[in-house]
Amino acid sequence: MRPPVVAIDGVSKEFTKGERRVEALQGIDFAVARNEFAAILGPSGCGKSTLLNMVAGFDRPTRGRVLFNGTPVDGPDPRRAVVFQESALFPWYTVHDNVVFGPRTQGLPAAVYRERATTVIEQVGLRGFESHYPAELSGGMKQRVGIARVLVMEPEVLLMDEPFGSLDAQTRSLMQELLLDVWERHHQTVLFVTHDIEEALLLADSVSVMTARPGRIKQRLLVELPRPRALDVVTSPVFNALKRDVLALIREESLRAAREHG
């Protein structure tokens, strides 16, 4: 059997804050299977971004291992592409040059990546904006570029760190729809971090609920909603039952935290 694309194996992360040691993550075990859309749901400050950064190779665990295709992660890699919370585009490049940055940097021939870039730009609805600079784009458009520039690299796993968190509600819905659409095309393996319950349930095959301080994975729920999904799935009874379950988990956790910390 093939190993999971991403395997997090007993990972803990500690930070030193002045004199004190703060435990951000504690004993995380977690895996993302091939073609799975996995979501991690947690409150802000629960360490979910730290977890994602370790999968990306930007950060290292204090204890435990992060494996990619069975091999320990050792620094960033285009096969583990990241869509950041803020679009993180290069402001001195046009949309087109931002999108082809990855393939160009990896030395792919222009003949190969040009065609791919055209397809991806089309897919995320950016046609006609190729020669615009990021400063000329709205927040949603920037995030589309952020998605296009990683899709063009055809990564094995897409790591998304609250990519729609800074967008207004309407744009966010549009982007979620876009992401569902992209997923249907590629069955792209995704690890998606969010604090938005509905977003996690709408997009993912599995939702792992995290607790805060120290961050742990409380429970992993399977989202057995049929695909292809559309935005109106959020009104279905199955969706609402799942939402109730998640809310109950979160509530249980807040009560426990309130008891413990007084």
Partner 1 sequence: MARRVPLFLLLPLGLLALWHVAVQARWVTEGLVPSPAQVVDSWHTWVFGSPTATLSPYSGTWLANALYSSRRVLQGFALAALIGIPLGLLIGWNRLVARLVDPSIQILRPVPITAWLPFSIAVFGIYDASALFLIGLGAFYPIVVNTTHGVRDTSLLLLRAARMMGARPATVLAKVVLPSALPSIFTGLRLGVGVAWTAVIVAEMIAVKSGLGYVLWDAYYVGRMDICVATMFSVGLLGFVSDRAILLASQLLLRWRMLEAHA
Residues that bind partner 1 (CB under 8 A): 56-58, 75-78, 80-82, 84, 86, 88-93, 101-102, 105-106, 133-136, 149-150, 153
Please say which residue, 4 or 134, places its beta carbon nearer to partner 1: 134
Please say which residue, 82 or 200, places its beta carbon nearer to partner 1: 82
Please say which residue, 93 or 129, places its beta carbon nearer to partner 1: 93
Please say which residue, 41 or 47, places its beta carbon nearer to partner 1: 47
CB of 114 to partner 1, least distance (A): 17
Report d(CA 83, CA 59) in Å as an integer: 16
Residue whose token pair is 């859309």: 37
CB of 206 to partner 1, least distance (A): 24
The separation between the first and the last C-alpha atoms of the chain, rounded to the nearest angstrom, is 48
Report d(CA 68, CA 3) in Å as an integer: 9
Angle 139-151/169-186 helices, nearest 10 degrees? Answer: 20
Pairing status of strand 37-41 against strand 20-32? unpaired
Cis before 78 (ω within 30): no
Beta bridge partners of 83: 160
Residue 230 is which amino acid?
Answer: A
Do residues 158 and 191 touch, judged by C-beta distance below 8 A? yes
Please say which residue, 124 or 209, places its beta carbon nearer to partner 1: 124
Distances (CA, A) of 193 to 117, 119, 164, 209: 26, 26, 10, 10
- Answer left, alpha or beta for residue 245, where phi above 0 means left and psi between -120 and 50 means alpha: alpha
CB of 150 to partner 1, least distance (A): 8
Structure tokens at 108: 């792919």
CB of 12 to partner 1, least distance (A): 22
CB of 17 to partner 1, least distance (A): 19
Please say which residue, 91 or 228, places its beta carbon nearer to partner 1: 91
Structure tokens at 233: 């799935």
CB of 110 to partner 1, least distance (A): 16
Report d(CA 111, CA 22) in Å as an integer: 50
Nearest CA among 187, 192, 190, 224 for reference residue 208: 192
Please say which residue, 138 or 254, places its beta carbon nearer to partner 1: 138
CB of 91 to partner 1, least distance (A): 5
